[in-house]
Structure 1
């Protein structure tokens, strides 16, 4: 029996990121918010290395490369566009404005990733592959760092203030996803001192 898709080591981190994101939504529904937010962070950590792992396979076909780009973006929509909003909803961002902001985050993540995919496929054709040096707009994975930092404020401010902070985080992050600014792409191997 043959399955469509790619299931080798080049995409394992992406699938694990998806598992973490889904776990985050389930944990939020069970009101285990700290663990749910950690799942968003774990998805971001896995996403930082999935491309590095994928590029270690030297004989990937163009179809496998394109599948990887699409898979990564689809998982990113769930992990960084949907999961943070679901977590915020269960924390208490569930009024009309809150739900609108959760939708806005998901919509801006989808728009940013669709834009990225179109640009990335064209760039790879023109440049013959390689890694882009800059993002346009704040990468959606940035919420995996922003959300845990914002979540820490829960332990220092009243609950109402924390809910307001979450509203601001959702709106501001969504806006930055689609704001046309250049953001330097981090070299995670260099940052972690795994290469010079």
Structure 2
């Protein structure tokens, strides 16, 4: 007789987890990130920044929704955590990399920066999935969603300085964010409480600003 018996209970289907409201919110964030990637590739950076900042908003919202849901099973919590992590690497690792590559006209010189921001994101999220928070209210390293927050803010100044200078600043920001993502510095967890209302306001302000740029 084997030490481990196979369970006779069939596992839930993959799509059954899509009924979960928190997971739907996560997927809305993924859709926003995909839109941001698409618009970045087509050089429509105001639209790309709208998609990116909404990806941040949905990323902050899914956890708040999950904490308010009653009778959520352990499997739903674990699945939601994995889903959130995988979406984060697309939204705040791959998307910034595509923004950098596209702004640099996909010149090979921009490939190292693109790789570094994605690699830092993968390392950071893998570390978090194993060790979690270093205290109740802080992470080790800069949380990856801040990549989206700061990148969306940088493009507010696009057009105010020369393209060559902006390119250099963008590259430096990408490298700095990557370094902070994997740094041993403790950073606060900001996705709940008054900070959440801050990201709601930030999202709305940047959406209005970039929408105005699109209409010009």
TM > 0.5 between the two?
yes
1:147/1:180 CA distance change after superposition, 3 Å: same
User: 1:1-150 maps to which residues of 2 (within 5 A)?
Assistant: 3-5=13-15, 6-7=17-18, 8-92=20-104, 94-120=106-132, 132-150=136-154
Aligned partners of 2:37 and 2:99 also within 8 Å: yes
Deviations along 1:140-179, whole A, 9 cap, x unmatched? Answer: 0001211022112222111111111111011100000000
| Structure 1: 4+ residue segments shifted above 4 A | none
Give me the TM-score of the superposition, normalised by structure 1.
0.87
CA distance in 2, matches of 1:118, 1:93: 37
Structure 2, unmatched stretches of 5+, are 1-11, 199-216
Greater Cα shift, 170-179 or 8-17: 8-17
CA distance in 2, matches of 1:94, 1:166: 14
Size of the aligned set, in residue pairs, is: 183
Instruction: Please state how far the C-alpha of 1:66 moved relative to its aligned partner.
Output: 0.9
State whether structure 2 residue 166 is matched by structure 1 residue 162.
yes
Structure 1, unmatched stretches of 5+, are 124-130
Larger C-alpha radius of gyration, 1 or 2?
Answer: 2
SS in 2 for 1:163: helix
